[in-house]
Structure 1
Amino acid sequence: ARSEMCIRDRFLTGRLKHGDRDLTSTQRLLLSATVGVATAVGALTLIAVWDRSGALFKAAQSALTANQVSNVVLAVILLAIAYALTDFLGGVIREIGAESASISQHQQEVILRVTQLTVYTSAILAVVGLFTENVGSLLVGAGFLGIVVGMAARQTLGAILAGFVLMFSRPFEVGDWVEIGDHEGTVTEISIMSTRIRSFDGEVITMPNDDVRSGSIVDRSRRNRLRIEVEVGVDYDTDVERAAAVVEAAAADVEDVAEMPEPNAVTKRFDDSAVVLGLRYWIRNPSMRKRWRTQTAAMNAMKDALEDEGIVIPFPQQTLSARAEGASGPQLDASVEGRAATRDGSASAGDGGSEDADDGGSVSASDGGSEGDGR
């Protein structure tokens, strides 16, 4: 029986949560008002049951004598209306944004924050006006207090101001692939105080908005396309124009590489052992995953195409040579000579003496084949 009750409770809870997600803004507002009325009725019922109405009436009578209870009630009502109105308007803004493709999520956040600030500021000024007639002097005092608080919390206020600047200037939007300073990832949230980025390692990075504004911002999603460049070296004996045509054709057949602009290979520099070509191509709807996937596929296709055409991709090589005693030039050290003698089947005779290697035990030099001793 207990398990059946648990299952029933979980089912009802899930249904209520699912139903709450499906409610419209008007329905949520009506539900909030109903809950408030039910709470008030329940409180009055408890007061009647506990027979505390007399004490409550005396407290209300003393408050009426001071002529403040009505102002308190009005202040509470005004704040409740402001909260309900911002919640209702927030739902309306989200619904309009969901139905209209012309309003981005970033613009929805800007409109929602400005609406909340306007409604709450108006409500607070109205509440202050209930308790004092000289609102002007109060505002002047609040201005001086704001200066003092601003000096003490200038970093926080700077982040708030930078948040509004980011919301209106729109250097990036939610969902963009950006690089801000030393951090790179996808923007997940832009608030008044901070900006959140999800890195490609799964980390969530929260950056104060003043740091975001003071640093450099690179948005790789703004133009909805991204150019990528990879380098490859070819031998000096290779026809460079032919090699460039081969890598361009190989990159054009790679998936996710944009047809226009076409892939383009340029000669970049001369290295010690190769002429370096830079292949430049574009991808649409860029993301970090697509970038690395396309770059890997392009490099593999370039390597296969160059091998099929017989074009050599050079790499650094080192040649070891041995010279006879008395000859000018570099000599092999004892360890190298010993390894060479071991490979040729010679035996070391000790520190002082050595045996002459036979004809098959000499080490050929790369520059003409001078013979060396095996020690």
Structure 2
Amino acid sequence: MADVVALQLLGPFAELFDGDGILARVAKFVGVFLVVYGGGRGIVEPLVMRAVRVRNENNPTVVGAVKLYLHIAVMVFAVAAALAAAGYTRLLTGSTIAVAIITLTVGVAGREVLGTLVGGLFLVTDQNFNVGDYVAWGDTEGIVESIGFRVTRVRTVDNEVISVPNTHLTTNVITKPYGQNRFRVNEELGVYYEEDLEGAIEILRDEAVTDPAILNDPQPKIRVRSFEGDHIRVQVLFWVPDPSRKTVLDTFSDYARRVQARCDGADITLGATSAVDMGGDLAVDRADG
């Protein structure tokens, strides 16, 4: 009797609160979404991520990607469950116009998005491409900071973070100059003909062999490459263990300073391989007018 009186009092608004009313559907949608989403974030995600971290302790790329993909999967599943509870799935799937619009939108506007998603999956599953790697492609290089669905963020040598589309990385040649357990430093310099060539070679070799930051196996090599116009071209080869861009640059910088100091003490002048000395006399005659 009370329900009948309540419906009579509500009058035209009564249909909003019955089992098929708009407010009832909204309440079902919100309730189911909160339950499913909360359960996924509070129960499913922690359990899955704990297992992923145990199996990928040294691979932050996989851990970060699984966390992102799992969060999106929980969101999609919660929305789908809420739509089903509210009774809207039949409306969407039964509408030919809706299906056609969705298909057209995905086919035209989503082609590039799907390409970046696939590119992101390829990068995540590539064991040779991980967060923390130093990579180079084209004229750009830097450290990979994160790999997302659409873009990969890289910190360049200028300490700038750039967002690179995944498709750009998957369709270009990527090099990892410091990806192995050692890195070869290959530099060339010039020793002028009037200088002590053997003394310069001895200094170059001695500073490389005695440097604890440079590997002794393989041994450093100092080679005479060619005779140039005003100098002899000398090549310096040595290897740096556990390389990163910073360690390679610091090692070579320290090596070059020590070599320069010893050469100065021995009165040996080194020059760049492209250096050219120009000499002669310049005379200016004044023309009498």
Per the alignment, residue 333 of structure 1 pairs with 284
Q: Does 1:150 align with 2:104?
A: no
The total of aligned residue pairs comes to: 275
**Which residue type is aligned with residue 181 of structure 1?**
G
Q: Are the aligned partners of 1:176 and 1:219 in contact in 2 as well (CA < 8 Å)?
A: yes
**Which residue type is aligned with residue 222 of structure 1?**
G
- 1:214 Cα deviation from its structure 2 partner: 2.8
Identify the structure with bigger relative contact order (alpha carbons < 8 Å, sequence gap 6+): 2
Taking the aligned partners of 1:174 and 1:140, their CA distance within structure 2 comes to 44
1:218 is paired with a residue whose SS is coil
Taking the aligned partners of 2:97 and 2:176, their CA distance within structure 1 comes to 43
Taking the aligned partners of 1:86 and 1:181, their CA distance within structure 2 comes to 42
- Structure 1, unmatched stretches of 5+, are 1-53, 323-331, 336-349, 353-375
Per the alignment, residue 256 of structure 1 pairs with 213
Change in 2 beyond 3 A, CA 1:139/1:170: farther
Residues 302-327 of structure 1 deviation map (CA, whole Å, 9 limit, x = unaligned): 334445666553664333248xxxxx
Per the alignment, residue 287 of structure 1 pairs with 244
- 1:250 Cα deviation from its structure 2 partner: 1.0
Residues 293-347 of structure 1 deviation map (CA, whole Å, 9 limit, x = unaligned): 212111123334445666553664333248xxxxxxxxx3327xxxxxxxxxxxx
Taking the aligned partners of 2:220 and 2:173, their CA distance within structure 1 comes to 29
Taking the aligned partners of 1:236 and 1:83, their CA distance within structure 2 comes to 77
Q: Are the aligned partners of 2:56 and 2:63 in contact in 1 as well (CA < 8 Å)?
A: no
2:179 is paired with a residue whose SS is coil
Change in 2 beyond 3 A, CA 1:125/1:240: same
Q: 2:254 aligns with which of 297, 300, 309?
A: 297
Q: 2:229 aligns with which of 257, 261, 272?
A: 272
Per the alignment, residue 3 of structure 2 pairs with none
Per the alignment, residue 106 of structure 1 pairs with 61
User: Greater shift after overlay, 212-221 or 125-134?
Assistant: 125-134
Taking the aligned partners of 2:257 and 2:138, their CA distance within structure 1 comes to 32
Greater Rg over alpha carbons, structure: 1
Q: Are the aligned partners of 1:255 and 1:294 in contact in 2 as well (CA < 8 Å)?
A: no
Change in 2 beyond 3 A, CA 1:115/1:97: closer
Residues 141-189 of structure 1 deviation map (CA, whole Å, 9 limit, x = unaligned): 5476234333134333332332222222255222222223332222222
Per the alignment, residue 33 of structure 2 pairs with 79
Taking the aligned partners of 2:154 and 2:29, their CA distance within structure 1 comes to 40
Q: How does 1:311-326 map to 2 (within 5 A)?
A: 313=270, 316-321=276-281
Q: Are the aligned partners of 2:16 and 2:23 in contact in 1 as well (CA < 8 Å)?
A: no
**Which residue type is aligned with residue 144 of structure 2?**
V
Taking the aligned partners of 1:127 and 1:264, their CA distance within structure 2 comes to 69
Change in 2 beyond 3 A, CA 1:79/1:285: farther
Taking the aligned partners of 1:279 and 1:60, their CA distance within structure 2 comes to 89
- 1:235 Cα deviation from its structure 2 partner: 3.9
Per the alignment, residue 66 of structure 1 pairs with 20
Q: Does 1:118 align with 2:55?
A: no
Change in 2 beyond 3 A, CA 1:97/1:274: farther
User: Greater shift after overlay, 306-315 or 176-185?
Assistant: 306-315
More strand by share: 2
Q: Are the aligned partners of 2:56 and 2:62 in contact in 1 as well (CA < 8 Å)?
A: no
Taking the aligned partners of 1:243 and 1:142, their CA distance within structure 2 comes to 77
Taking the aligned partners of 2:175 and 2:218, their CA distance within structure 1 comes to 22
Q: What is the TM-score of this pair, normalised by structure 2?
A: 0.74
2:247 is paired with a residue whose SS is helix
Q: Are the aligned partners of 1:97 and 1:103 in contact in 2 as well (CA < 8 Å)?
A: no
- Structure 2, unmatched stretches of 5+, are 1-5
Taking the aligned partners of 1:213 and 1:160, their CA distance within structure 2 comes to 11
Change in 2 beyond 3 A, CA 1:100/1:297: same
